[in-house]
Structure 1
Amino acid sequence: MKIRIPYFLAILITFFVWPVLLGGCASTGKKVEDISDTPSVSDDVPEEIKITEFILGAGDTIEIAVYRHDDLKRSIRIDTSGIITYPLVGDIKAAGLGILQFRDDIRAGLSKYIVNPQVSVNVTSVQSRKFSVLGEVKTPGIFSLESPTTFLEAMAKAGGFTIDAKQENVLLIRGGVNTTELVTLNLEEALKEGDLEQNGYVRKGDVIYVPATIIANVSRYAQHISKIIAPMLSLEQGYFIGQQIEAASGSKATSRTTSITVNPPSP
């Protein structure tokens, strides 16, 4: 038996559901600025620092070593001033600098006393830093940044991607008090190709949002609309069936029959 769709439901689908589907398809062409063209912005970080480089901050513990100079090996915690004290170099800024830039500054200070010093800097602990992972991950939430963490490692902390995740269009929201930067990350490429430009390091306060695919969005929207339409459709079906019973029996359906056919199915 064919079921008639009421006129008002056809209008609802035409003017509300279809434009959403078209809008979803059209929106795929829009992108936030690509990461390769977007400098990393922060109120306490030099602009030349790339997104792939870990930025030192207050509370971090770093280990500094100089080749063939074991007496210069130090494990130092960066205090709230952002400055550390190192032998032969004295006070030197650490917070807000990338590891490579900080290493070069140490090397420049030591070069006054040591010929061509070979310096290594490692981060052994990251304290008082948090970041958020939201959207299509299995366990979204706020996480502690206890050690240098890449974007893919952040995804692992959040339980990994869901089946509906749009891995090639992950949104990174980053910035200080006065500036906010939006960057599109292709973590699918980073995962498959090992693209370090896409798989940079998480910073304090970062928000990583994993969107759903267009197909997943459409499916969820359709389910939402279905929940709204189902009771109305059931009501119309019940009215139509009642008419058929009346026509077949030559009399009006009883109130008991009408109540059974009109009530919408339990969710």
Structure 2
Amino acid sequence: MKIMINLIKNFLTVLLVFATIHVDAAESDIVLGPGDVLRISVFEQPDLSLEVRVSESGTITYPLIGEVKVGGQTPAAAERKIAGMLETGGYLRSPHVNIIVAQLQSQQASVLGQVNRPGRYPLDSAKSLADVLALAGGVAPEGGDLITIVRKVEGGTNREVVDLASMMRDGNLAKNITVAGGDIIYVERAPRFYIYGEVQRPSQYRLEHNTTVIQALAMGGGLSLRGTEKGMKIKRRDSVGTIQVLDAKHDDLLQPDDVVYVKESLF
């Protein structure tokens, strides 16, 4: 019977080690921080099992050993630290500590603006900008190509703008940055232009990449029966807010918030 009990214990120990290795592989790149909720257990020591939240100073209070600094460490490193403190304190011999991250509050990114599912998303592993946008359901139909990332840095904040469409067109993934906890990702609304006057469908339209005046005219349904391509104008606001009226040529490229006016034919 004693041999059988020892065999069962050894088998359970192997299972625990395997489970710990599996968790370590899945969470190897998670860094613990304030607000995270941890479930901590020690093999064959049920009195040492507890659920605890990491404090703002990055510490937890654990039975027998008191305050433990876990902020900035991976779960695997925190497991080794607690096990070492239990052993050096003379409480247990070769303890097997297991940590499961029940809630990952410290490592979250906020995704706002024109996405299908705005919200806060946990970074339970290393995630790129494209990964986090995918978690948020991708860019919504009203979303534009420009993505703004705001992150805290020492002494303030840093703002970076990524042209998602350009990155995809060029295949340059250097801008597909790794998102960090606390980052704010904002997807801007797609720029618009306006067309009115003698067109079939005067309205506002999404300004696609390199949209020309003649393309804008087509998007507006073409000329009305009284319209003419001669004398078309572009109303554009300059950097100081003054509206300029420009002669519109077919191949002129439109800018955000341009207003295209199509005149009535005199004949």
Query: Structure 2 length normalisation: TM-score?
Result: 0.45
- Larger strand proportion, structure 1 or 2? 2
Larger RCO (CA within 8 A; separation ≥ 6): 1
Query: Structure 1 length normalisation: TM-score?
Result: 0.45
- Larger helix proportion, structure 1 or 2? 1
